[in-house]
A and B are shown apart, each in its own frame.
Chain A
C-alpha cells in the first residue's frame, strides 16, 4: 500500500505503524482489538496499566475498539496506540493547537480530550481528511500558498482551518486571523495561512 512516492518519507529500518495512518483514507484494514490479529500493523501493542476503560469509536471512518488506560488523552491514543502521528504534540496543555482534530465535526484539542470521552463518537485526523491521491482543498491551499515551513503545526492548522470554513467563520481576513489564533506557528507562516484559508473557502463554499 505504501507506494514508491511515499516510501521516501519513511525512515529506513522502521516497521511503520503509520502504515495504517498513511492508508487510512485509501481503505486500510479495520483496526481490531489489541488482543486480536492486527499485530502486523500494530507491532507495539500496549500493555495497558492503571484503571482500564473500553472504548469503541469511528476514527477516520474506521471502527476502533480497544481497552486502554483511563488516563490516556485522545492525543496519546491517536499517536502512540493507533499510529496516527500526523496529529502533533506541541504543549499537551491545550495552548498551541498542534493537536487539533475533529470530534463529531467540531475542532478539539486532542491533548485536552480524554480518550475515554470519544466512546461512540467520530474522530477525524489529518490522515482522514482526504481520500486516495486527492488532497482536501485546504491541504492544496496550504501547498499553493506555502502556508508552512517546518510543518509541525500544519496538521493542526489545517484541521482548524477546515473548521473555520465549515463553521462559516471565514468571512473576512480579520475573522480568519482571529479564528486561527489558537494555532501557534512558531515559524510564522501566518500570512500564508490566511491566504490558504481564503483560497480554500472559495472552493469549499463552491
Chain B
C-alpha cells in the first residue's frame, strides 16, 4: 500500500556539484579534440545563392568547413533566421570563431511573416472541444466576466548552453550532450548518419537545466557528429547564447479570449475559450492542448474551446515549462478572481466552493485530490485573513501599495512504462540502472531514497545510472512524468530484491547489512530487473519503451483521471513614486501525491515560484519584425529573475498519495510548480491598484 512517508535525505549529487566535478556535455575533453562553430543564416526565408568558404578554409587553424550540400542539415532553403548554413571546425575555439566569421553568403530572400500580427499571416483553425450546453449557460447567466489575455514569446534559457561533443571509434559514434530524451537523440543521429541505432551512444549524465528546451533532438548535433567523422577527430561545439536563441525552441506567443458565466446562485456554470498561438506548419506544440488541463480544475460543467495557429517564419516553438496550462491558467485564474470580486466573494473561498470531482473531458472521476487542502493551508500560512478585500485599500506607512493575490494551477499526472535493474554486491556497493535524466529536479535523490529506505545497504556506495543510452532505454524526461515513472519501478525492484534474498537466505539469514549477509552467504551479488506499466497499459508499452517509442500514458487512465495541483499566494508591493513592482513574499502549497524526496521537491517548489515571478514580471523575447529574429538574444537583455528579486518563499507539500495512479502514489511536479505564480501576481496587482492587467510580462508602465 502506498502509505510510507519518506524522510528527507540530502541531494545525492550535491557534493559533486559543489566541487565542480559533475560533468555536463561540454565538460568532456578528449585527446585531439577539435572545436566547431556554426555559421547562421542572416535571412528568415529564402535560399542561399552563393556561399564563400574560401577565406574560412584558409584561416590558420581551420581544419574543415562543412557547407551547403555537405550534409542534409545544411540546406540551401532557409526557413528561419539563424538556420545553420556552415560549420567551421578548427584546432581552437578562437580559430573556429575567426573561420566562421570569414564565411560569406549571398541570399535570395523571400517575403516572410515574423509575427502573428504581421501582414499576410495565415490563420489555421484546429480541432475544438465542447461539452455540456455552453450557449444556454451563457444565455441564462446572472454574471459574465470576460477578457483577452496575452502571453509572450519566451525562451527557456537553461544556464547550460547547447554543448555537444562527438567522438567516433571503430565505426561507432558517442555523443555527450545535455538532453531530456537521449533515446530520441540516438534515433535521430542513427537516421541522419545512416547508422544502425546500436552504433550510436548518447550520454547525458548531468543536464544543466532543461525546462523543455532539451526534449527534442537539436539541429546541430548530427552536424557535429558528421564533422567528427570527416576529420577523424572528436569535435566539440558550444553554441553561443545568441545562436541558441535562434536554433532552440521557445514558448510561442498566444492570445486567449475567455468568458466565464455564473448562475444566479453565484456558481460557475460555463467557460467559453478561444485560443490562437504562433506556430509553424506541422509544429510540435499543439494549439489544441490549451484547454485540456484547466477544464479539469474546477467543477464547471459546460466548456467550449476553439483553437487556431497563425503561421510564422521562425524556428519551431515547443513545450516550455508549464506548457499549455501556464497561459491558459493565467487567463482562467485571472477571470476567476474577477468573478469573485464581482460577486463579492472571497477568492479563496470561491475556489474552495468549486472543488472538482469529475474530469469533464474524459467523462470520468478525478482521482481523489487535495487542492482544497492546498488552498486552506496556503491561506493560513500566508495570513490571507488579514486581506482587506477592497482594491487599493492596503498600504504601508510610506504609501507603498500592497496587494494580496492567490491562484491555482493544475497539470496532468502522466506516467511512462519503464524498467530498472538493481544489483547489490557483497563488496559493499549497490547499483541501480534506471531510466531518465537528472536535470536538477532531483530524480537521482528520489530513487536513492526509495532504495535506501527499502534495503539495508551502504547509502554512500550506491550508484544510480541514467541518462545514458548504453545503460538501457531511457524515458523522455518531459511533462513532469520522470519521477512518477521511475519511482514505482524502483520500489518494485527493491521488493523483488528483498524477496530474492529471503529465498536465498532461507529462514535463518546471517547477521549484518545486506552486503555483509551476501558475503557470509558467499554470494558476490544478487540482481533483479523490474518493469512497471502505467495504469491501463499493456506490455506493448514496454516494447515501445525498449525501442525508443512512445511509452507514456495519462493523465486520463481507464476509469479515472489523475492531476497534480498547486495553490500559490503572493504579496505584491508597488512603490508609490516609481511604481516598481516587488514581491516580498510568497506561499506555495502543492498536492503532488506522495513526496518521495522532500528536499529536492521543496527545491522545485522554490524554483517554481522564481520561474513564475520571472514569467510574470520579466521575460519576453522581443521579435524584430524586420528580420524575424530576436532582439534581446542575450542574458543582459532577456531579463531573468535574480536573487534580489526574490523575497521570502514558504513552501509546503500535502504529501498524500494518489491511491490509483501507481504503487507509491507519486505524481509529477516539474511543470506544476510555476503555474499559479503569474496569475497570483496579476491578481495581487489588481488588489493593490484596481487595475486588471491581462498580458504578460507586467511592466511598470502597466501600473502607472
- Report whether A50 and B641 are in contact in the complex, using a CB–CB cutoff of 8 Å: no
Residues of A within 8 A of B30 (CB): 14-15, 43-44
Bound form: Cα–Cα A130–B21 in Å: 13
| Contact pick for A93, options B207, B241, B606, B610, CB 8 Å | B241
Binds A, one of B65-73, B417-425, B436-444: B436-444
- Report whether B29 and A85 are in contact in the complex, using a CB–CB cutoff of 8 Å: yes
Residues of A within 8 A of B171 (CB): none
| Contact pick for B32, options A44, A76, A180, CB 8 Å | A44
Q: A58 at interface (Cβ–Cβ under 8 A)?
A: no
Q: A193 at interface (Cβ–Cβ under 8 A)?
A: yes
- Report whether B93 and A76 are in contact in the complex, using a CB–CB cutoff of 8 Å: yes
B419 to chain A, nearest CB (A): 20
A29 to chain B, nearest CB (A): 17
| Contact pick for A90, options B16, B160, B599, B649, CB 8 Å | B160
Query: Could you give, for residues 153-185 of chain A, a 1 whenever the CB lies within 8 Å of some chain B CB and a 0 otherwise?
Result: 111001000000000000000101110111111
Bound form: Cα–Cα A91–B159 in Å: 8
Q: A71 at interface (Cβ–Cβ under 8 A)?
A: yes
Residues of A within 8 A of B642 (CB): 180-184, 190
Residues of A within 8 A of B198 (CB): none
Chain A residue at minimal CB-CB distance from B465: A8
- Report whether B29 and A184 are in contact in the complex, using a CB–CB cutoff of 8 Å: no
Residues of A within 8 A of B600 (CB): 146, 149
Please report which residues of chain B, range 601-626, place their CB below 8 angstroms from some CB of chain A when the two chains form the complex: 602-604, 606-611, 614
Chain A residue at minimal CB-CB distance from B604: A149
B16 to chain A, nearest CB (A): 5
Residues of A within 8 A of B519 (CB): none
Residues of B within 8 A of A182 (CB): 642
Main SS at interface, chain A: loop
Binds A, one of B7-15, B374-382, B538-546: B7-15
Bound form: Cα–Cα A181–B639 in Å: 12
Residues of B within 8 A of A130 (CB): 19
Q: B635 at interface (Cβ–Cβ under 8 A)?
A: yes
Residues of A within 8 A of B160 (CB): 88, 90, 150, 152
| Contact pick for A85, options B13, B23, B604, CB 8 Å | B23
Query: Could you give, for residues 463-500 of chain B, a 1 whenever the CB lies within 8 Å of some chain A CB and a 0 otherwise?
Result: 10000001000000000000000000000000000000
- Report whether B606 and A6 are in contact in the complex, using a CB–CB cutoff of 8 Å: no
- Report whether A21 and B20 are in contact in the complex, using a CB–CB cutoff of 8 Å: yes
Are A93 and B206 also in contact (CB < 8 A) when A149-B440, A150-B439 are? no
Are A188 and B607 also in contact (CB < 8 A) when A11-B176, A15-B31 are? yes
Are A151 and B208 also in contact (CB < 8 A) when A95-B635, A130-B19 are? yes
Chain B residue at minimal CB-CB distance from A140: B18
- Report whether A50 and B98 are in contact in the complex, using a CB–CB cutoff of 8 Å: yes
Residues of A within 8 A of B61 (CB): 47, 49-50
- Report whether A86 and B21 are in contact in the complex, using a CB–CB cutoff of 8 Å: yes
Bound form: Cα–Cα A10–B16 in Å: 11
Bound form: Cα–Cα A89–B30 in Å: 18
Chain A residue at minimal CB-CB distance from B158: A186
| Contact pick for B643, options A12, A72, A135, A193, CB 8 Å | A193
Bound form: Cα–Cα A92–B160 in Å: 11
Q: A201 at interface (Cβ–Cβ under 8 A)?
A: no
| Contact pick for B442, options A44, A142, A149, CB 8 Å | A149
Please report which residues of chain A, range 9-59, place their CB below 8 angstroms from some CB of chain B when the two chains form the complex: 9-18, 21-22, 43-44, 46-50
Bound form: Cα–Cα A71–B604 in Å: 40
Bound form: Cα–Cα A54–B95 in Å: 18
B: interface residue count bin:
35 or more
- Report whether A86 and B20 are in contact in the complex, using a CB–CB cutoff of 8 Å: yes
Residues of A within 8 A of B98 (CB): 50
Q: B134 at interface (Cβ–Cβ under 8 A)?
A: no
- Report whether A186 and B209 are in contact in the complex, using a CB–CB cutoff of 8 Å: yes
| Contact pick for B26, options A84, A89, A193, CB 8 Å | A89
Please report which residues of chain B, range 24-81, place their CB below 8 angstroms from some CB of chain A when the two chains form the complex: 24, 26-33, 35, 60-61
Residues of A within 8 A of B28 (CB): 11, 14
- Report whether B14 and A142 are in contact in the complex, using a CB–CB cutoff of 8 Å: yes
Query: Could you give, for residues 220-235 of chain B, a 1 whenever the CB lies within 8 Å of some chain A CB and a 0 otherwise?
Result: 0000000000000000
A: interface residue count bin:
35 or more
Chain A residue at minimal CB-CB distance from B17: A151
A39 to chain B, nearest CB (A): 9
- Report whether B599 and A44 are in contact in the complex, using a CB–CB cutoff of 8 Å: no
B134 to chain A, nearest CB (A): 38
B460 to chain A, nearest CB (A): 8
Residues of B within 8 A of A181 (CB): 642-645
Q: A143 at interface (Cβ–Cβ under 8 A)?
A: yes
- Report whether B19 and A49 are in contact in the complex, using a CB–CB cutoff of 8 Å: no
Chain A residue at minimal CB-CB distance from B441: A149
Residues of B within 8 A of A174 (CB): 644
Bound form: Cα–Cα A10–B28 in Å: 10
B695 to chain A, nearest CB (A): 23
- Report whether B643 and A180 are in contact in the complex, using a CB–CB cutoff of 8 Å: yes
Bound form: Cα–Cα A195–B206 in Å: 25
- Report whether A158 and B92 are in contact in the complex, using a CB–CB cutoff of 8 Å: no
A187 to chain B, nearest CB (A): 5
B580 to chain A, nearest CB (A): 15
- Report whether B641 and A188 are in contact in the complex, using a CB–CB cutoff of 8 Å: yes
Best-surrounded residue of A43, A183, A184 (most CB of chain B within 10 A): A184
Bound form: Cα–Cα A171–B290 in Å: 46
- Report whether B603 and A146 are in contact in the complex, using a CB–CB cutoff of 8 Å: yes
Bound form: Cα–Cα A8–B15 in Å: 12
B244 to chain A, nearest CB (A): 10
Bound form: Cα–Cα A169–B614 in Å: 26
- Report whether B159 and A88 are in contact in the complex, using a CB–CB cutoff of 8 Å: yes
Bound form: Cα–Cα A144–B211 in Å: 25
Bound form: Cα–Cα A93–B603 in Å: 28
- Report whether B610 and A190 are in contact in the complex, using a CB–CB cutoff of 8 Å: yes
20 interchain pairs, CB-CB under 8 A? A9-B22, A10-B23, A14-B28, A18-B23, A18-B29, A46-B92, A49-B61, A49-B90, A85-B26, A88-B24, A93-B241, A135-B15, A150-B160, A151-B18, A152-B24, A152-B440, A153-B159, A154-B18, A180-B642, A192-B603
Footprint of B on A, CB under 8 Å? 4-6, 8-18, 21-22, 43-44, 46-50, 69, 71-72, 76, 79-80, 83-93, 95-96, 98, 125-127, 130, 135, 139-140, 142-144, 146, 148-155, 158, 174, 176-178, 180-194
* 10 nearest CB pairs, A to B: A86-B20, A188-B610, A150-B440, A152-B208, A149-B440, A49-B61, A151-B17, A188-B607, A43-B31, A126-B20
Give 11 A-B pairs besides A69-B92, A148-B11 with Cβ atoms closer than 8 angstroms.
A5-B460, A18-B27, A48-B92, A126-B18, A148-B14, A150-B159, A152-B24, A178-B643, A186-B159, A188-B641, A194-B643
Footprint of A on B, CB under 8 Å? 10-11, 13-24, 26-33, 35, 60-61, 90-95, 98, 157-161, 174, 176, 203, 205-209, 211, 238, 240-241, 439-442, 460-461, 463, 470, 599-600, 602-604, 606-611, 614, 634-636, 640-646, 648-649
